[in-house]
Amino acid sequence: MPTEDHPLEYAEFEGIVPEEQYGAGPEIVWNLGTYRNVAGKPVDEEIRTGHVKVWAGG
């Protein structure tokens, strides 16, 4: 799901966002790492077609 850019400090935030705020609920970091586009097409083009193929390292 496309979103606006967020500060890098958010990358490691875990906690609960209060009910009255956007994105309310628990926030859990599942993975920190890197990814590589393996399809050979620009990622924005892949997103538009609904199929993004990446290699995830972490």
Domain residue spans of the chain: 8-57
At 53 the pLDDT is 93
Number of neighbouring beta carbons within 10 Å of residue 18 = 9
Strand intervals (E) in the chain? 15-17, 25-27, 34-37, 54-57
The SS3 assignment for 58 reads coil
Q: What is the structure's pLDDT at 42?
A: 93
How much is the pTM?
0.48
The pLDDT of residue 46: 93
Q: Which residues of the chain have pLDDT under 50?
A: none
Residue 32's nearest CA partner among 46, 14, 17, 50 is 14
